[in-house]
Amino acid sequence: MKIESEKLLLDLMERTRLNINQVKKFNALSKELTYRFGHQSWNILECIEHLNLYGDFYIPEIEKAFESSDNFPDSRFKSGFLGNFFATQMLPRERLNKMRTFSNKNPIGIALNKTTLERFIAQQEQLLVLLDKSKNLNLNKTKIPVSFSQRFKLKLGDTFRFLIYHNERHISQANKILDAVGDAKAI
């Protein structure tokens, strides 16, 4: 994938704003937040906590890369093979392809409440600041380690795409849970 860097950043900022607005709507819910289809399926709060766990890793890594980066912006972003693969796998689809989550990113069993939503919103606002600051960096040359191995690194542009598409994926999952709760109440 090749795209103007500014266009990519604007798209990612808009997606992040939409994610924030979606999660803000969850604040009006109560019992729906903890509804689950089965023992191993996630509820809405667990979907969002899963995203928080990824934000806990990637946001500091991105900030660290900003501190050590001395490269200049490039007007075009060209996605790497691995980065593009990871990012596109995260995009929400009508029928999500099931993926196993790493045990340290699995929120089942964690005591959660609405602060989970507030934490997500705070992380996303921080992400918006980082997206804006990244206009001054080269999205191709700045590298970020992936959460499962410090040996593999993705371009900053691909890291942002992966993280934000991943957020969309699980917010879509949370909305499907909410729809199912609404359907169950209607019966």
Binned average pLDDT, 10 residues per bin, the chain of 187 residues: 94 98 94 86 95 96 86 86 90 69 74 96 98 93 84 93 97 92 56
Q: Which among 165, 170, 167, 7 is positioned nearest to 86, based on CA atoms?
A: 165
pLDDT at residue 104, as a whole number: 66
Gap between the Cα atoms of 52 and 58, Å rounded? 10
Burial class (CB in 10 A: 0-12, 13-18, 19+), 98: exposed
Each domain of the chain, given as residue ranges in start order, spans 2-186
Please, what's the b/e burial string for 133-160 (b: 16 or more CB within 10 A of its CB; e: otherwise)? ebeebbbbebbbbbbeeeeebbbbbbbb
Q: What pLDDT score does 165 carry?
A: 97
Give me the pLDDT at residue 68, please: 77
Q: What is the pLDDT of residue 107?
A: 81
pLDDT at 97: 61
In the prediction, which pLDDT does 95 show? Answer: 66
Distance of alpha carbon 23 from alpha carbon 7, whole angstroms = 25
Place of tokens 């997206």: 131
Q: What is the pLDDT of residue 187?
A: 38
> Which pLDDT value is given to residue 151?
75
2-186 maps to CATH 1.20.120: yes
Helices (H) and strands (E) in the chain, counts: 5, 4
How much is the pLDDT for 150? 73
